[in-house]
Structures are given as C-alpha cells and as structure tokens.
Amino acid sequence: MKTRLLVEQHIHGAFGIDFNKASVEDMLYVSKELLKCGIGGYFPTLVTDSVENITRQVKVIKEAAKQTGNNCAEILGIHLEGIFINSEKKGIHNPKHFLPLTVDSFKTIEDGFIKIVTLAPELDEGLIEYLQTKNIKIQAGHCVGGDLNSCSGATHLFNAMKGISHREKSTALSALIDDRVYTEVIADGVHLSDDILRLIFKTKPFNRIILISDALPITYSSLKSTVFADERIFYDGLKATSATGTIAGSTTLLDKIVKILGQKDLFTVQLINNVYDYHNLEIDGELEWDDEFNIVHIRKGNYYAK
C-alpha cells in the first residue's frame, strides 16, 4: 500500500523533547526523527503556559521551521491548545495561566504562525470572530458547550469535553452529528475504546476524521516520568498519567496508530488524506506499507529512508 506522508496536527513533543521548552536544535532533532516514522509534516502543539513562555516558544518554533530540510518533517504552523479553555474540562492544564476569550488576550501571544487554536466556544467574548478573520482553524476542546457552529474542528473527540447525553446538547454529540466539523481522534488504544472508535467511524463521514497522537515528550524515549504542563507525569509502559490518574496525552505516534487501526480492520487511506484537505497542504513525498501496516519505504523530496 502506498500513501501520502503522515501529517500530525496535535503533538506536544517526543523523543524526550517538550515543545513548550525546546530549543531550535531540539525542534530540528525531533523533525528528523519524526520523518523516520513516516511523518512528513506537523503542527507543534503548545500546552497551557504563561504568556512569556508561549511567546518565547513561538519564536523558537518559527526559527526551526526555517531550517528544516528534506531530511526533516516540515513544521507547518503552531497548534495552540490551552489558555482559552474551560476549567471544568482542564485535564492536566494549569488553570492559573487561563485567559478570557478576548481579542486583547490573544494579542498578547499573537503570531501569524499560529494556525490552530483549541478553545472553549461557550466562553467566547469576541475572540472567535477575530480568529476567523485571520483564517485560523478554530477547534472546540477542553469545553462543555454544544454549539460548534463557529468551529471548524473538535480537539481529541470525547477526551476533555462534555460527552453524549440523551437529553441535551454536548460537545461530543455536536461534533459527531455535524458533518461539517473535522474531528481529531486519538486511536492509540488508550484514549478511546474500540466501541467508541466504531461509533465515530459509523457516525462521522470518513473525510472528516483526523488521526492525531497528542503525543507527550515522553513518547519514544527512555523517560519514565517528566514534568509536563507544570505537573509530574508518570509512564507505566502503556499510558502516561498524572499522580492522580488523569491521562495526560499519548505515548504513541501516528505510524503505530495506523498499525493499530489496520489490525482492527478500521483503517482506510482517507484517514491520512483528511488532514491535507483540512489545511490545504502539499508535501512532496510518499510512504509504502507492508501487509501488516509497517512502513517499509519513506520518501520526502529527494530524501529516502527504510
């Protein structure tokens, strides 16, 4: 099977590198390692942090993006997850850094390289309309509201959002039944049960599902614990959680997620193509997979691996 290169739009780090703390050299190292996993482009995702730290990391990531070559996954823009979310569904995000959903708040960290913003639409105070004028993808996440009319996507469906209710609207329900909304899905075998995955795949048009990892810095590293989003995270070999048991993110990248779905007979090539359509992307390259959904050949431009 041949496909396009994988594109990751929700990843916080990997190989021991945290994008909220990384240097330019760190970003380039991760970019090279990601391409070896078949990932040709990605949107580094910044978790809730101080305005000062986010502003610094935006500059770092932009500089790294200028230096990537054909032997690297392209840095396609920044996904800002946090700051503008609902404390009721904060997950491991630190609420001391949360800001009101206003234009003035966004301008404290604004940069043209921010391409996706995860926010709680029910808390909007004028920010959404402003983001729309900037052609930024607006995704509902870490929220409870059921009105997604102003959103283009939903962040990690079912995780850190109000679930399905048979008596009222909810974020997850609206994301499922609105065929216009793209929905991120973490199909790592930890964040969603097989039955929920089947429900999503039966309900959503296949061209509106985006596979993501939500990978943590601990992913594909020797680390057993790390500090992420101001909290100590522990990895038990299967999942990464806070000391209180809250799942913090994934420890699996997209190459293995495709393999997991393939083994469950839930994979289709459309799932790789969707993120290209969502962002109107063009990346010169391709992957070749064997019958067991292992990558056996990688090409990006004139770079070849495996």
Q: Give the tens place of pLDDT for each residue, 62-95.
A: 999 999 999 999 999 999 998 999 999 999 999 9
Convert the pLDDT of each residue in 252-285 to its tens digit: 999 999 999 999 999 999 999 999 999 999 999 9
Residue 171's pLDDT band (boundaries 50, 70, 90)? Answer: very high
Percent of all residues in the chain with a pLDDT value above 70, rounded to a whole number: 100
Residue 101's pLDDT band (boundaries 50, 70, 90)? Answer: very high
Residue 166 has pLDDT above 90, yes or no: no
Residue 165 has pLDDT above 90, yes or no: no
Based on DSSP, count helices (H) and strands (E) in the chain, helices before strands: 8, 19
Task: Provide the mean pLDDT of the chain.
Answer: 96
- CATH value of 2-305 in 3.20.20.140, 3.40.1390.10, 3.40.50.10700, 3.40.50.10860: 3.20.20.140
Mean pLDDT of 169-187: 97
Residue 172 has pLDDT above 90, yes or no: yes
| pTM: predicted TM-score of the whole model, two decimal places | 0.97
